Structure 1
Amino acid sequence: MELSQLEPQIIWKNFSALNSVPRPSKKEEKVIEFIKNFGEKLSLETRVDEVGNVIIKKPATSGMEDRKSIILQSHLDMVCQKNNDVNFDFETEGIQMEVVGDWVKAKGTTLGADNGLGVASIMSILESNDIPHPALEALFTIDEETGMTGAFGLKPGELEGQILLNLDTEEDDEIDIGCAGGIDVTASQNYGLQDAKGQIVKITVKGLQGGHSGMDIHKGFGNSNVLLGRLLYSGLENQIIQLISIDSGSLRNAIPREGNAVLSVRNAVEFIEQANEMKFAIMQEFESVEKDLLINIENFTSAEKAISEEDSKKIILALKSAHNGVYRMSPDVEDLVEASNNIARVELKNGGLKILNLSRSSVDSSKYAVAEQLKSVYELAGMEVEFNGSYPGWKPKPGSEIVQVMEKIYEKDFGEKPQVVACHAGLECGIIGANYPEMEMVSFGPTIRGAHSPDEKASIPSVQKYWGFLKEILANIPMK
């Protein structure tokens, strides 16, 4: 079946049009122009603010003028991940999609359903002539995935709406009323180079699921940086190890799926034997969740220089010691991860080292507790550490009027109560709410699996369910 045949056709039409436009984070010029042109062609008031957010206004439909005004909000950028064997340029090519059963997927890359389905939904409301709604503002933010730049740059007074509907949640039975904040922790150092004194070995880890570093952090998935650290550590006691290079992971908000390390060891046969013992243990640990995991440890050749044994040991110990995964579960909200860290990217090249982390928490103090634990480990290893990109969480308000309206609609339409939750992802609501403290906010969306990985897929039946839910919410917005 082709996407054009899927229902609701208006959503999939707009999603396909959006996905034909390249939109990596921090490189959204093309998609900003695309959305701007979309609003202007509809003769709607359209503007682009100083940072690149696009705001489009549409008057209330007849009979809805006395309802509270609405902001429909989604972000324009997408996480750009692809499988190693896929030749694809996210800056110049549109996403290639296919229908597989009840799911829409991309061919070897991220799909961009996060948050493209939200963007497509707003586009569909804007161009509709038969969907009742109050006065609304469509807010399309930029750079949500790598810095929340659009949300941070949105000035007070830009918006007039009283209720914000954020369309960036990935379970269709959830109504989100809170989220985690985050902070980037970057460790770096430059090391002197010398000739490698031993035999060269390469370790490769690949085939991990990856996933969203917030929503999936509690699922026990493998992290290529952590696994490389364990494999390297297994040889420290009996080997002289000099690291030559490490290239593992990619984006801060994606759980690392693959990576490799090249190193010099005193005795390659002994090192490979010891590392294979660790490999066997790792494969057993992850056999139920990482069925495609591959680890290869082999002799290699390299003309590159290495760093010293002492510096190599410090890096390996840091990778073994730095916290990854859940740090604390919430004592107040059942099954909610309060604080976590994702060791997202490790790069050692020509003596230059960078380790990128994204620490998250719904409680500011524990966010910094995680970040400071990492800082302590990395500084003990002689690295320099910087904190950047801190953003606040979104404090839940479970009794708000819009949440009550949505709960009643959901229960009436679907015969069960929705899950009213807070999530461990970073949504823009907390940042926007800092400048609009009186605004009611809620987040919801269709079911998406594998966000931030090439396994990302969107549920077709869920999009149908969500679209009907969204339209009925708009028709039942409370009076002013």
Structure 2
Amino acid sequence: MPSSDIRTLEPKALWNCFADLNAVPRPSKREERVVGFVLGFAARHGLTSQLDSAGNVIIKKPASADRIGQPPVIMQAHLDMVHKAGDGVKFDFDRQGIEMWVDGDWVRARGTTLGADNGLGAAAILAVLAAHDLSHPPIEALFTLDEEQGMGGALGLQPGLLTGKTMLNLDSEEDDTFTIGCAGGIDTTGRFEYNETAHDSTAPVSAIQITGLRGGHSGLQIHEGRANAIKVMARLLNACGEDVVALSTMRGGSARNAIPAQCVAQVVVLDEARFAESFEREAAGIREEFRLIEPGLSITTTPAKIEGSDVHTMCAEHQKHLLLAMQAVVNGVYRMSPVVPGLVEASSNFSTIELGGGKAEWGSLQRSSVESSKLDVARAFRAPFELIGADVRSGDPYPGWSPSAESAILDKMKKLYRELFGHEVQVGACHAGLECGVISMAYPGLDMISFGPNIHEAHSEKECASISSTQKFWKLLTATLADLQL
């Protein structure tokens, strides 16, 4: 079923808005086109809209006729999406709309991220704004920017423009769970300038490729033990040694908040016999360790050619130091929560690297629901790189969202969920980053809750959204608006 047929799915109002949204390129930090689309949407439906000082979009809709005089509710979602294509997929995210198809109960994209995170939440808000048959209080719709690359829109949110005291965040990914807390985060980046060694143009060059990993959301899937392609590459190269291979280039990862699913390096082979032996021995061990969780893992080496009169690689000393630091650096779960069983408290994800031409640059994201451990895990990530003299910095922090046991919207929605679906909803916190904690800095005292449909494998080309779950989500959302009298 092509993208056009997505519009036949129920609820049509939501899926049509999602199809319209997915036709518009919307990468983080380059949201001009989708902002224009949303402002145009408001104008077409005769609604008041404005941009705040950070570029976030606010649209206001009066209450339905039966709800005049009631206090407004804030509905919030972010407009940007993670842009990631699968191995070998050529896709121009700046020009092409997402190509969707239906696979049973799931909507998927052809070789790329789907954008259900957070496109389905944004589409649901647009559908509410366009509807004439829903009962609802006054709506203050908040569409934030740059959530996926540092929550820039929420961090810059302008105070004084919203009057609602209750906020529905539509950025969760499990339809049987209400989220009332989340982790904060901090970005740690690094730069290392190194000396180069020149090799004759006839030197044997090999391309090492690590592909086929599951990747995924570095908050939601970090506890699953998925392989990190950058860490695997560092392990392989260290096993070979700087006297066997000389590193020329490396590229891995695609987004700060995605577990890297691929990494490619080019090396000059200094000792072919030892390279073949040590490479295959280490690769075999890695395949065995991850055979259950990473069935698609592929580790290959093929002859390559680097254009030019000679080939430049890292000098042996700098290569040894950098690769040891990369292998030693903290990655994955750092600490489990002693308060919430099964919840990751702190984690780190080595997300991107670009190496060549005398410099290496990398990015990472550390998360924690506790501010002190967020800073601790960031220091732990920096430490090995600082020891080798790299320039490593942590910045762009955003706060977590502390759960509150006293919440009128939580109590109301728990009761409503039980009445609609015949069983209790789960309530908890998540290790992913939600904008609620950041938004509360500009609007303190908000009573907030996060919910959404089932979305699997967000931040990867395997991302998919459940059709039946989206129907359940829409039913809960519209029933909540009809029942909301706070």
> TM exceeds 0.5?
yes
Q: Residue 181 of structure 1 contacts residue 361 of structure 1 at CA under 8 Å; is this kept in 2?
A: yes
Q: Residue 272 of structure 1 contacts residue 297 of structure 1 at CA under 8 Å; is this kept in 2?
A: no
Match of 2:240 among 235, 238, 247: 235
Match of 2:375 among 368, 371, 384: 368
Amino acid at match of 1:260: V
Superposition TM-score, scaled by structure 2 size? 0.96
Deviation, structure 1 residue 436: 1.4
Q: Residue 244 of structure 2 contacts residue 275 of structure 2 at CA under 8 Å; is this kept in 1?
A: no
- 2:291 corresponds to which residue? 287
Deviates more, 1:392-401 or 1:320-329: 392-401
Is 1:267 aligned to residue 271 of structure 2? yes
Structure 2 counterpart SS, 1:34:
helix
User: What are the residue-to-residue correspondences of 1:418-437 with 2, within 5 Å?
Assistant: 418-437=425-444
| Runs (5+) with no aligned partner, structure 1 | none
Q: Residue 87 of structure 2 contacts residue 212 of structure 2 at CA under 8 Å; is this kept in 1?
A: no
Query: Partners in 1 of 2:206 and 2:456 — Cα distance?
Result: 36
Is 1:203 aligned to residue 186 of structure 2? no
Is 1:97 aligned to residue 104 of structure 2? no
Query: Partners in 2 of 1:398 and 1:442 — Cα distance?
Result: 12
Deviation, structure 1 residue 240: 4.5
Q: Residue 200 of structure 1 contacts residue 268 of structure 1 at CA under 8 Å; is this kept in 2?
A: no
What per-residue deviation string (whole Å, max 9, x for no partner) do you get for residues 179-213 of structure 1? 11111101111112221387433211000111101
What per-residue deviation string (whole Å, max 9, x for no partner) do you get for residues 265-292 of structure 1? 4312212211111111111111111111
- 1:16 corresponds to which residue? 19
Is 1:296 aligned to residue 297 of structure 2? no
Amino acid at match of 2:166: I
- 1:48 corresponds to which residue? 51
Query: Partners in 2 of 1:173 and 1:68 — Cα distance?
Result: 27
Deviates more, 1:259-268 or 1:284-293: 259-268
- 2:147 corresponds to which residue? 144
Deviation, structure 1 residue 68: 3.4
- 1:157 corresponds to which residue? 160
Q: Residue 60 of structure 1 contacts residue 133 of structure 1 at CA under 8 Å; is this kept in 2?
A: yes
Q: Percent identity?
A: 46
Query: Partners in 2 of 1:159 and 1:312 — Cα distance?
Result: 53
Deviation, structure 1 residue 144: 0.6
Deviation, structure 1 residue 43: 1.0
Query: Partners in 2 of 1:472 and 1:436 — Cα distance?
Result: 26
Q: Residue 239 of structure 1 contacts residue 271 of structure 1 at CA under 8 Å; is this kept in 2?
A: no
Query: What is the aligned-residue RMSD (CA, Å)?
Result: 1.4
| Runs (5+) with no aligned partner, structure 2 | none
Amino acid at match of 2:216: G
Amino acid at match of 2:227: G
Deviation, structure 1 residue 50: 2.1
User: What are the residue-to-residue correspondences of 1:395-410 with 2, within 5 Å?
Assistant: 395-410=402-417
Distance 1:58 1:275, change over 3 A: same
Question: Structure 1 stretches (4+) deviating beyond 6 angstroms?
Answer: none
Q: Residue 105 of structure 2 contacts residue 467 of structure 2 at CA under 8 Å; is this kept in 1?
A: yes
Match of 2:350 among 335, 343, 356: 343
Is 1:80 aligned to residue 83 of structure 2? yes
Deviation, structure 1 residue 381: 1.9
Query: Partners in 1 of 2:210 and 2:429 — Cα distance?
Result: 33
Is 1:476 aligned to residue 483 of structure 2? yes
Structure 1 counterpart SS, 2:478:
helix
How many residues end up aligned between the 2 structures?
478
Is 1:7 aligned to residue 10 of structure 2? yes
Superposition TM-score, scaled by structure 1 size? 0.97
Amino acid at match of 2:470: V
Deviation, structure 1 residue 437: 1.5
Deviation, structure 1 residue 242: 2.4
Q: Residue 276 of structure 1 contacts residue 297 of structure 1 at CA under 8 Å; is this kept in 2?
A: no
Q: Residue 195 of structure 2 contacts residue 318 of structure 2 at CA under 8 Å; is this kept in 1?
A: no
Amino acid at match of 2:337: S
What per-residue deviation string (whole Å, max 9, x for no partner) do you get for residues 63-111 of structure 1? 3234432000000111000023222111111111101111001111111
User: What are the residue-to-residue correspondences of 1:161-180 with 2, within 5 Å?
Assistant: 161-180=164-183
Query: Partners in 2 of 1:274 and 1:94 — Cα distance?
Result: 44
What per-residue deviation string (whole Å, max 9, x for no partner) do you get for residues 293-318 of structure 1? 10002443334301110000011101
- 1:466 corresponds to which residue? 473
